[in-house]
Every structure is written in C-alpha cells, then in structure tokens.
Amino acid sequence: MQNIIPHSETQQRTSLHTHKETGLNTSAAPASVAHTRHDDILLVTIDNPPVNALGVDVRRGLMTAIEAADADPAVKAVVIVGAGRNFLGGADIREFGKPPQAPALPDVCNSIEACTKPVVAAIHGAALGGGLEVALGAHYRVALGTAKLGLPEVLLGLLPGAGGTQRTPRLIGAPAALELMLSGRHIGAKEAAKLGLVDKLVEGEDAAAAGLAYARELIASGAAPRRTSEASALSDRSSTQAAIDAARAETSKKARGLFSPLKIVDAVQGALDLPFGDGMALERKLFLACLDSPQRAGLVHAFFAEREAAKAPETRSAQPRAIGSVGIVGGGTMGAGIAVAVLDAGLPVTMIERDDEALARGRANVEKVYDGLIAKGRIKAEAKDAIMARFKGSSSYDALGEVDLVIEAVFEDMAVKQAVFKELDRVCKPGAVLATNTSYLDIDQIAASISRPQDVIGLHFFSPANIMKLLEIVVPAQVAADVVATAFELAKKLKKTAVRAGVCDGFIGNRVLAVYGAAAQAIMEDGASPWQIDKAVRDFGYPMGPFQVSDLAGGDIGWATRKRRAATRDPKARYVQIPDRIAERGWFGQKTGRGYYLYPQGARIGTPDPEVEAIIDAERQRAGITPRSFTDEEIVRRYLAAMINEGANVVHQKIALRPLDVDVTFVHGYGFPRYRGGPMHYADTVGLDKILADIQEFAKEDPLFWQPSPLLVDLVARGEKFASLNK
C-alpha cells in the first residue's frame, strides 16, 4: 500500500490519486488510509467502509502516516480523522479467528503517542474499542456532537487490549475508567468532554475541518505532544485504590461467573502500581488470557448470532410496510409493557379495553412505569408528559380504524383471541398488520378465522415487555412476506432482539421450556429438592433456577397450561403432579406469599418451605418412587440435555431456522448465561457425542421422554456440530 503527501488542500479519502510528477504507478490499489498536507498539518484520513474498522491495512496505513509526519520537518502537527459516518469502529470482525498480522494495534497506538509532532484525533460518529484506543494514543482529542465513545470489549469477553486499561484511568481517573470498561456502554460527546476523555467539543458536521482548526490553534500556542501515558489522574493513590477495591467487590457480586470483568479490574490495578510499559505488558497478558477463555468464544458467538437472527428470509425478499401508529388491545401487565416499548420508540399508541374502568387501569399501568423512572431520576416529569401525549385510549374498536399495526395482548384463550380478531377484521384499514401476543396458541387457527390471514402474525413479547429484549416473530402459513419484514422492522424500532419462529405449541422458547421444565420436575420427584436444583442451575450461570422462575411468573400460569394440555397428553408419558398439588392450595409464588418457596412479608427472595417438602414426600410415596441423591453436576447434565435435545427437535422441524436462533432465544428470553453462547453452542463445546450418550443413558429410565432428536443423532453420525447448520 502506497501513500503520498502532495502539497495541496485536496483531501484524498477513498484512494490514492497519482500524478505523472510523482513517478508513482497509476494502477495503485485503493488505500484504507490516505494522508495529505494542509500547509504544515498532515491530515490522515481512514476510509475502510462500512465502519472504518481497524483492519490490517488501516493499522499499516496509520503507522506509515505517523512515520511520514516524523520524517518531514515541514509537518508541525497531525490530524487523524475517519471518512464516512465514523471515526473508527473498532476491530475488524473479518479478522476474527485468523492469525494476527503485524502491526498489532498496541504498537500502532504506541507509535501515534510517540510521534514528535502534536497528534489530534478528530472524532465523529463511533470511536469504539480499538477506535477509542487510537484516539487515546493521540495527544489531543476534539469531538463533534455526533461522537459516541466507548470501550465495549467486556461484552465480548475481552478487555481493551491496546492501552485502554492503562491510558483511560491515567486520563480520567480509575472510577470513571472502570465504569466505562465494566459496563461496555457508549457515551456521547458531552459526557466524554465532562469526563475529560475529549479536550474540545465542536458543533458542525465536518470532523476534518474541526481537527485542522484545533491543530492550528495548538501550533499557534506552541503546544507540544501531550502523552496520555503520562497523564496524572492516578496521582491520589489512596482514593484510586479505594475505587479499585470497590469496583472489585461490586464486580465479584454483579458479574458472578464472568472471566473478563475482574481481569479489567486487575489491569487498572496495574495502571496504579506499575510504570506504563509494565502496565502495558500486564494488559497484554490479561488480554491473551481473555482471548483464550471459552467465555470469549461464547460471547462472540452470541454477538454474531444476534445479528444473524435478524436476517430472516422475508427481510431479504420483501420491503416492510410503513408503521406510523400502533394499536394495543389489552391494558394489563403485558399490554401496558408493550405500550411503553412502543411509546419509547416514538410511536403513538391507541389502547383498547372493554370499558372505561379497565382503560383507566391500563393507562395507570403505563404511567406507573414512567413514574418509576421519574422517582429514580432517569427522566423528568415533562418527558413523561410528552410521551403520554402520544397515548390515547378507547373502549371502542373503531378507534383502531387508521392505525398501521395492532398488537392483541388479551387473555390466553383461543375463543377470546378469535373474538378480538373478528373485531380487528371489521375495523382495521386494508393493509394493517394484525399481531397476536400469544405465548402458546395456534396462530394459524387465529389467522384462518378472519378474512385477511395474510396480515396476521405473532409477536411474542416477554414480560416485562418494555425491558425484556427478546421478541419471537411467529410466522403462520398464510402470512405475507412484507408483514414478516414489517415485524422485524418494528423489532428494530423497539430495540428488541428478534427471532423468527414457526407455529407450534410454545414456538421456540416455551416449547423447549416445557421439556426441560418437565426434566426438572422429574429430578425433583426422583430425589432432589427444588432448592438444590435451583442452586445447581444458578451455579451454571443462570440468574435464577426453574422453581424460582415459576414462583416469580406465577404458578397459576403453568397450572392453566397443564390443564389445557391434559386432553392431548400421552397417557404413557410421565406426569409429575407435585406442581398441581402446590397450585391447588393457591400457592402461586411471590404474588401469594408462597409457592415452592416462602415469601414472608412480601420478600423477593424465597426461603425453603417444609410444607412443600412434605408435599413432595407424599407425592413420591403415591408414585412409588424411592428418592435418591443427585450431585449438582448430574442435575445440570439432565437439565441441559433435555433443553438441547428439544432445541435440536425445534431446528429439525424448522420451527427455528438455525441452531443460532435457539441460542438467541434462550440468551435473551430465558436467562441462559450469555457467556456460554446459548444451549446449542454450549452443546458444541461439550461435544454432541457426549450429549447424545447422556440422553441414551437417561433413556434407560424413561425411554418415552428421553428420545434422541433425529438431528442430534444425524450430526453425531456425520461428526458435525450444530454450528455447521448456522451458515
């Protein structure tokens, strides 16, 4: 790759133009980095679409530009800027998994910092991860209002590995640096300036002009290079140590089981204790340890799986319909949560309830969310007023006549839902999308009950709908492709993680949940206590165990589902009656003060209930079961084998397009530990042959329940992984 330094004001962004006078080859390939002279300032422009990722050509180009600046006595300052919409978007994902190529990014950042001329980073758009580390290697930073800065490596199981853990705390102090790195969040230009991460804010849209103007100011004032590695924000050792200790204690609690967060704390400790060069060596050692961690592989898989899940076939073949307004039928917990999610996306909402009293409750449910945010200082009262100005309600379906999309969120009963859709069919305009929020019911049956089945789709939100990220987009047989595309576009507007699912009882998530829930109940009836099972599942990485989740959701929900399924249940299948005995007593979990656990005086954390143990013992005797002991490892093996096996069935039957869709569903909707990538990715890491062997072993006790999925058997026979089906 060649670079030239013509003495002109012409900026060369996308390629190196050549001239006869230079003697350069006119067939030179396009460059990712061009540098041009603007009087005595060298403007270095990175152009690596779409996000200016730090690929090897960019790294080499930056090194070459800095060397050119140092070698040219006419250059008095350097400005680094990104072409297009971003400064630098971080690592190049196309290089993931490939052998590293020189120069490494730490060497590039060190080279920038070592430059003998003042270097200005002119930031607009994203300066994330390695992009921010390049900016920290510069001596001065100017940012436009559009700038977004962050060190999100922790979200991929890594830590900033090009000086971020060493330069950031030296520049802005340990508390702010630790919060930035441990949260992985992006911050805006104003917050970055307040923290001291950037030196100057500039209004406007031309980062190059802002950088050049700032560089001219620096030259005029005689400013010298100001190296971030020599910044003094760690000079108060005692307060810095206290901040590091506090971060370590909080991280140990909040990031339980995660590898990289505590390594970030260790690296910042190194920034306090060690000279910069030794701190960089420690950072590199810790970075490589994170790189080798299975958690990094799991988090990277989850990262890419989320992006692939959003690419359903219909999103490629059809354009979404316009969505300018949304109707919601039902103002209960789910309907109100969906309303908040839609309002937060800036869309107007019309809520329908059966009468004015129910409508008032629905509105109150929506306002309660915003009142909670006001109480926490997250929003101001005026912001709530502006949001609620987009909310209106009615007890007449006629109010939905002009909305573009309607989401039904009423009681989980087929007759009730069909009655709602009959009204929607009557009042909604042609082309309106008609969505049901059912968790289990047959959407094909709902669609077939009206005159426009092509407009009907499932949007399965998870409660609380304004917080939970997962949205299952359930695709019935007769739906139009542009309706599916519209659902994915809506998910994007709502900032949801969308997964395409086919129609069956429970779709992807709840169908698999029913199976591993049954496995947990069988383990309980066979001898393990609910609290031992919950603890084993939590120790694997879940935030809660299955019986805690049941108590949180409400035992009456599962009880109603079991009763609905009773008529179609295989009489030969094992059926554990313990949950029914608990539900029959009205013990529905937290909302009734007891379920599997006791919740005295409204406690959120339950304590084991001796009466539940007595119910379990009585049911074991009734079923003729002699209880046996289980290790935590045995519990987890059974629990996950049931989950993985049914996940394989879901893929085999095309309910999920790919194994990665199952992974995304369980990471975002069911608490599966993100750092393990999802159940199907986890199965690949364990070995599908081992999973199959476990299932075949368990089948000796219950061959009807433990039937190996045909897909799992086939993959093992071919020596393939679930990952082979993700392409």
Q: How far apart are CA 50 and CA 59, in angstroms?
A: 16
Distance CA 374, CA 498 (A): 29
Cα distances from 424 to residues 395, 413, 509, 526, 584, in angstroms, run 13, 17, 27, 49, 37
Longest dimension (CA), the chain: 96
Pair 42, 73: CB distance under 8 Å: no
Q: Are 537 and 550 in contact (CB under 8 A)?
A: no
133 is catalytic: yes
Q: Residue 459 in 3-state DSSP?
A: strand
Catalytic-residue membership of 611: no
d(CA 487, CA 474) in angstroms, rounded, equals: 9
Burial bucket for residue 201 (CB in 10 Å: 0-12, 13-18, 19+): middle
The angle at the Cα of 66, spanning 60 to 70, to the nearest 5 degrees, equals 145
Structure-token pair, residue 284: 């590199």
Q: How far is CA 506 from CA 114, 351, 377, 515, 521, in A?
A: 59, 26, 38, 11, 19
Residue 219: how many other CB atoms lie within 10 Å:
16
CA 641 to chain centre: 25
Which of 9, 21, 153, 230 does the annotation list as catalytic?
153
Beta strands 456-461 and 470-475, pairing class:
antiparallel
Residue identified by tokens 């069935």 is 649
Tell me which amino acid residue 508 is: I
> Whole-angstrom Cα distance, residue 662 to residue 647?
6
- Measured in degrees and rounded to the nearest 5, phi and psi for residue 384 equal -60, -45
Residue 176 backbone dihedrals phi, psi, to 5 degrees? -70, -40
Residue of 113, 133, 314, 408 with catalytic role: 133
Structure tokens of 263?
């390594």
Rounded CA-CA distance 524/44 in Å is: 65
Name the E strands within 516-667: 597-598, 607-608
The DSSP output letter for 332 is: S
110 with 167: CB under 8 angstroms? no
- What is the C-alpha separation between 134 and 143, in angstroms, rounded? 14
Q: What are phi and psi of 677, to 5 degrees?
A: 85, -20
Annotated catalytic residues are: 133, 153
